[in-house]
Chain A
Amino acid sequence: MVSFDMLGKWCWLVPAFPLAGALINAALRRKLGANVAGGLATLMTALSFVVSALLFFGHDPAVTPVKVVKLFDWIRVAGMDIGFAFQLDALSLTMMMIVTGIGTLIHLYSVGYMHDDKRVASFFAMLNLFTFAMLLLVMGSNYVITFIGWEGVGLCSYLLIGFWYTNPEYNYAARKAFVMNRIGDVGVVLALCLLFSLFGTLDYTSIMDQASGFGAGNPLIVGATLLLFVGAMGKSAQIPLFTWLPDAMAGPTPVSALIHAATMVTAGIFLVVRSSVLFELAPFTQDVVLYVGVGTALLAASIGLFQNDIKKVLAYSTVSQLGYMFAALGLGAYSAGMFHVTTHAFFKALLFLGAGSVIHALGGEQDIRKMGGLKGVTKITHWTFLAGTLAISGIFPFSGFFSKDSILANAFAHSPVVYALLLLGALMTAFYMFRLLFLTFWGSYRGTAHPHESPLVITLPLMVLAVLSVLGGLLNLPHLFGGHEAMKHYLATAAEGIHNESLHLSASTEWILMGLSTGLVVLTIVYAYGLFVKKTTLDGAPAQMPALKRLIAEKWRIDELYAFLFEKPYGWLSTQFARVGEDRIFVPLMNGVGNLTLRAGKVARRLQTGNASFYLFAMVAGIIVFLLITLYGG
């Protein structure tokens, strides 16, 4: 085995492989066929995964908890020294494993899913570019490198959501995602400026070292963390910037799986965990993070209850789960948050890919009211989807049970109210997920297309992910079940905040909490079974629903609210500027300058008589004046 120090020098290979794949695919996008392009992209991600895995398993946190690999000096101006460097520690290695591992599976899946698309090579170029940007984000050793990746995933997200750009609605969705992300990015940029003025550096290690010098509640730290959280809100789709994520389902399904479930949306979580030392110093920000997280979890889950688009349900579920993660971060339970990131990456990627498989099987149908009874036809998809659904609902012993339970336990230790709210969210999650499962796979078929099982290239990633979803809980098996919270201890070597975590609950309390949540979830599932399998209750148009249900089904009219609050005033302002600013001020100003010059020229050209004697006179007069000025003027 090569030593970690030796191998660490080659860590740049991890982002380099996807970048190379992106460049090759982009350059040869008209020449490469679907299988070649997809194979190349998958191979590159797989190679990247292999290197990541070598690094991950070679990494012994007891020996080298943090290793910074500097490639070159990047920005070096007075007082500012930003190197292009990667940081290898428990946190970044874990994220690298998730990004490249799930990325590889999704690339493989895309080979089958995007096979018939005309621009398949462009698609894989973007997908690889996205992987590259995400790796840059998690591997950067300072905020600036992370920010490059941050912007890069935003860009790729825009490109991929609008991949089918001939559809104006998809373009609108892409623009929406871009603008929402941009709002968050402004927060990040401001946070970076503030942090630089505070610490004089943006390197994670130096900031973490210096941070202890600041007292808890330092207003500048609070401001910086709030701004960072604004960025995290944009990227990780929290209230109030979450509306882009459901619309982002306009992209191809693998994109939804890769970006909007498994990787990109966790960037916000990653950023907060990376900066956990700072967040620990800002209790106010932690409260804000907690309440925003809880609010998002509930709001998104409630919207998910009445959605009829298979991907939309999953999208709102993602937003809701992200809310859970932020709630965990707000509670200071960073390891629980990261654990949930990991398990969520497994089962949400699985669910999205399964949904993609269903859509593929039905030839593009996404409305669950026109599905049903698919479990007989698409056996593998059904069983894997069931595993994912059980995992996200938090049924023992699936991975989601452990991660969600650890968040709930932390919430209970903080306050029973937060616990109750989060439990309510978990119940709603179980309800809408089983509604989705029952309406899609159980009952009788209500559509017109002829369903068929997807090819192996699609089902293989599903099976792998299903195994991971089932067994993912073992990564951080709590003491209660004979484990020793391996992931928590591993991550604690990288993030100061995890080190300080302490959860004081007696074993009996934990047993009660687990039993309570599991019992209620099972009851919810039974209720859903009765509602959707026994009777197959289908929602009609929102107009016929009761008022509250209608409001929820129309997504709490948040889009309309934003349109009223921001789009309309902005449009009005733009019109005013166009009418007053453009027509009354700028155009006359420009014309005025032109006319003035023209008129001045008409006057001044009289001087240009063409008469040499006159010129000579003028010259002599000028010389005299000049001499007089030099003599007496000063």
Chain B
Amino acid sequence: MEPVVSAIRAVPLEHYVYLSFVLFSIGLAGALFRRNTIIILMCLELMFNSVNLLLAAFSAHHSDPSGQVFVFFIMLVAAAEVTVGLAILVMMKRNVDSVDVNQLNRLKW
């Protein structure tokens, strides 16, 4: 088991943190950047995954399995969210014949 320990320890935790920050920010910028709803959904998935990565890294470095259980639950939620999100997308395409997020601006005032 010693090689595993050293392999995990080889990369400092900070680097995982930075990596997930970068991924999250890219996802965020993408969500702001694009108008295509399906791309925005993908960006959301990207952000989910950056958080997952962070949790898994902390879990491994802290030797605490609950972090990974959280990741598992986040995956559950993400799967449910994507299902509903895509269903809404299908509905939107069918009704307004577009996937432009700016089309969905009736919910105002």
Contacts and interface: CB of A to CB of B under 8 A. Distances in A.
Nearest to B34: A613
B94 interface: no
A609 B32 contact: no
A611 interface: yes
A565 interface: no
A612 interface: yes
A611 B108 CA distance: 8
Interface of A: 605, 608-613, 616-617, 620
A616 B47 CA distance: 14
B32 A616 contact: yes
A620 B105 contact: no
A612 B108 contact: no
Contact of B108 (A610, A616, A617): A610
B108 A613 contact: no
B86 interface: no
Interface of B: 28, 31-32, 35, 101-102, 104-109
A85 to B, nearest CB: 62
Given A616-B31, A620-B32, A611 B105 contact: yes
A611 B107 CA distance: 8
Contacts of A611: 102, 105, 108
27 contacts: A605-B108, A605-B109, A608-B108, A608-B109, A609-B105, A609-B108, A610-B104, A610-B105, A610-B106, A610-B107, A610-B108, A610-B109, A611-B102, A611-B105, A611-B108, A612-B101, A612-B102, A612-B105, A613-B32, A613-B35, A613-B101, A613-B102, A616-B31, A616-B32, A617-B32, A620-B28, A620-B32
The 4 closest A-B pairs by CB, nearest first: A610-B108, A610-B105, A608-B108, A611-B105
**Would you call the interface of chain A mostly helix, strand, loop, or mixed?**
helix
A609 B35 CA distance: 16
Contacts of B31: 616
A618 to B, nearest CB: 11
A615 B64 CA distance: 36
A125 B105 CA distance: 69
A616 B107 CA distance: 15
A391 B22 CA distance: 108
B32 A612 contact: no
A606 to B, nearest CB: 9
A613 B104 CA distance: 10
A611 B104 CA distance: 7
Contacts of A605: 108-109
A377 B101 CA distance: 104
A612 B108 CA distance: 10
Contacts of B108: 605, 608-611
Contacts of B102: 611-613
Contacts of A617: 32
Contacts of B107: 610
A155 B105 CA distance: 64
Contacts of A609: 105, 108
A429 B101 CA distance: 99
A584 B108 CA distance: 38
B11 to A, nearest CB: 26
Contacts of A616: 31-32
A617 B33 CA distance: 10
Nearest to A605: B109
A632 to B, nearest CB: 18
Nearest to B107: A610
Nearest to B102: A611
Nearest to B33: A613
Given A617-B32, A620-B28, A620-B32, A612 B109 contact: no
A351 B35 CA distance: 99
A453 to B, nearest CB: 86
Given A609-B108, A612-B105, 12 more contacts: A605-B109, A610-B104, A610-B106, A610-B107, A611-B108, A612-B101, A612-B102, A612-B104, A613-B32, A616-B31, A616-B32, A620-B32
